């Protein structure tokens, strides 16, 4: 009751993670990436057929249409302005002499404009454009090679030679030829890809559950200083009953906090996955944080010391656990360290449920978190000074 009446605390535990989730996912992933489609413009000025064959894929290829929301435009300047404004992630321009130059054996170019503010989406668009230009180059080489050899044949009928070359060029330019070597992307993880919004919903929720439990540590130390804790010990309740009761309060507030964040992020479009799995991960995370809170209250002698220890520990765990940046971006030697933190186990479990894991599949994470809870609670309760 004392914690719930503290409006400042409630603000920090609920409002702050909501704000951070929105800011981080917007800054690093663009909320629209949640829909999986990056808006781009295609300006095909080519007088021949090759340009269309390159750019049509953005409107017909299943993989590309899943990634991009492409629109045809006729004005390069207009498209460039939209990219600069941020309305488009990129624009691909095929020049008017694209086919003519390729058919006569000269190099041609595709021009790409990208929004530097959308680094990830921009990088993907650039990669696709590079792939397309590589395919066109390969087709062009095939056509020229065949033309060379055909023309070297001493065939009397020039029409036959031109016809063969034409067919070679035509076949090299066909979509199927362009697709002779396809780039197949596959992911190492099972299930769907996650947006930054989903990632940070999990990351920030776990971090702020830790902060919430730390208020339990503050409460214990403060109650010791104000003598409500020693007074409790003078009542018929045992130490374990009193401590258990206090920690149950912390656990309850943590679960409520998790529920609010779950609801908020779900409203933003995050799919957390299997409810039972999410509930288990949420509960075990709060339990681990609560155990850690008792441990900190036992180690730190004053409220100020609790603040220092808690801040340091939470931010360290959040950093190595992946709450700030995906663990996959860490150096290889650093990645295993994320299992040394509550955040690491919790976020692993949450991301797994978001990708489609069920309750059974996250049991190892749940077990690890409950073990952390038990160990810290036991040590903390044993070492806690009551007066």
Partner 1 sequence: MSDAAPIVIVTDLVKRFGENTAVDGVSFDIREGEIFGLLGPNGAGKTTTISMISCLLAPTSGTVTVDGHSVTAAPGKVKCALGVVPQEIALYPTLTALENLKFWGRMYGLGGTLLDERVGEALEIAGLADRAKERIETYSGGMKRRINIAAGIMHHPRVLLMDEPTVGIDPQSRNHILQTVKELNRRGMTVLYTSHYMEEVELLCDRVGIVDHGRLIALGPLEELKRLVGDENVISVRLAALPDGALEALRAIPEVDSVTSAATGDEKQDAEATGQAPEDEGVTVQVLSKDSGTVIADVVGILGRSGARILSVDVREPNLESVFLHLTGKSLRD
Regarding 252 and contact with partner 1 (CB under 8 A), the answer is no
For partner 1, the closer of residues 163 and 237 by Cβ is 237
- Which parts of 208-227 interact with partner 1 (CB under 8 A)? 226-227
Residue 90 DSSP symbol? E
The reply on whether position 1 binds partner 1 by CB under 8 A is yes
Tell whether the torsion through CA atoms of 197, 203, 207 and 210 is positive or negative. positive
Does 386 bind partner 1 (CB under 8 A)? Our answer is yes
- How far is it, in rounded angstroms, from Cα 272 to Cα 188? 20
Q: Pick from 235, 240, 267, 333: which binds partner 1 (CB under 8 A)?
A: 235
Q: Does 302 participate in binding partner 1 (rule CB under 8 A)?
A: no
Nearest approach, Cβ of 5 to partner 1 (angstroms)?
5
Sole binder of partner 1 in the list 11, 105, 237, 269 (CB under 8 A): 237
Counting contacts by CB under 8 A, is residue 187 touching partner 1?
Answer: no
Q: Which of 238, 266, 302, 312: binder of partner 1 (CB under 8 A)?
A: 238
Among 81, 120, 232, 303, interactor with partner 1 by CB under 8 A: 232
Say whether residue 8 binds partner 1 (CB under 8 A). Answer: no
CA angle centred on 172, ends 169 and 176, rounded to 5°:
145
Say what the alpha-carbon torsion angle 17, 19, 21, 26 is, to the nearest 10 degrees.
-170
Per-residue exposure over 123-151, b if at least 16 CB sit within 10 Å of its own CB, e if not: ebbeebbeebbebbeebbebbbebbeebe
Q: What tokens were used for 102?
A: 């390729």
Window 112-131: contact mask with partner 1 (x via CB under 8 A): --------------------
**Beta carbon of residue 4, minimum distance to partner 1 (angstroms, whole number):** 10
CB 255 within 8 A of CB 282: yes
7 belongs to the binding site for partner 1 (CB under 8 A): no
Backbone angles phi, psi at 183, to 5 degrees: -90, 115
Burial degree of 334 (CB within 10 A; 0-12, 13-18, 19+): exposed
Helix, strand, or coil (residue 209) = helix
User: What number of chain residues touch partner 1 (CB under 8 A)?
Assistant: 18
Nearer to partner 1, 91 or 253 (CB): 253
Q: Name the site residues for partner 1 (rule: CB under 8 A).
A: 1-2, 5-6, 226-228, 230-238, 386-387
């Amino acid at each position: 009751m004392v914690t719930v009446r503290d409006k400042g605390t409630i603000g920090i535990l609920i409002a702050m993670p909501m704000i951070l989730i929105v800011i981080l996912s917007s800054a690093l992933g663009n909320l629209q990436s949640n829909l999986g489609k990056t808006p781009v413009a295609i300006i095909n000025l080519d007088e021949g057929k090759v340009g269309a064959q390159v750019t049509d894929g953005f409107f017909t290829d299943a993989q590309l249409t899943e990634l991009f929301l492409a629109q045809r435009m006729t004005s390069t300047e207009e498209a460039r302005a939209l990219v600069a404004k941020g309305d488009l992630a990129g624009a691909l321009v095929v020049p008017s002499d694209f086919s003519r130059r390729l058919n006569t054996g000269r190099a041609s170019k595709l021009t790409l404009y990208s929004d530097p503010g959308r680094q990830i989406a921009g990088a993907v668009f650039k990669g696709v454009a590079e792939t397309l230009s590589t395919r066109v180059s390969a087709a062009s080489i095939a056509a020229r090679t065949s033309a060379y050899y055909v023309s070297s044949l001493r065939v009397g009928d020039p029409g036959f030679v031109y016809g063969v070359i034409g067919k070679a060029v035509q076949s090299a330019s066909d979509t199927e030829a362009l697709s002779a070597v396809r780039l197949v992307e596959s992911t190492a993880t099972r299930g769907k890809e996650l947006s930054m919004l989903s990632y940070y919903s999990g990351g920030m929720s776990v971090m702020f559950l830790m902060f919430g439990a730390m208020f339990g540590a503050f409460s214990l130390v403060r109650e010791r200083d104000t003598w409500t804790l020693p007074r409790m010990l003078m009542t018929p309740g045992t130490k374990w009953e009193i401590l258990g009761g206090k920690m149950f309060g912390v656990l309850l507030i943590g679960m409520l906090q998790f529920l609010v964040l779950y609801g908020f992020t779900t409203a933003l479009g995050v799919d957390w996955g299997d409810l039972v799995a999410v509930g288990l991960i949420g509960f075990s995370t709060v339990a681990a944080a609560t155990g850690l809170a008792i441990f900190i209250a036992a180690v730190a002698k004053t409220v100020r010391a609790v603040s220092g220890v808690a801040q340091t520990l939470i931010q360290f765990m959040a950093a190595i656990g992946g709450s700030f940046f995906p663990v996959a971006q860490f150096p290889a030697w650093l990645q295993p360290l994320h299992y040394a933190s509550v955040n690491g186990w919790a976020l692993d479990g949450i991301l797994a449920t978001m990708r489609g894991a069920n309750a059974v599949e996250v049991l190892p994470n749940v077990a690890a978190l409950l073990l952390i809870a038990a160990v810290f609670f036991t040590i903390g309760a044993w070492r806690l000074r009551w007066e």
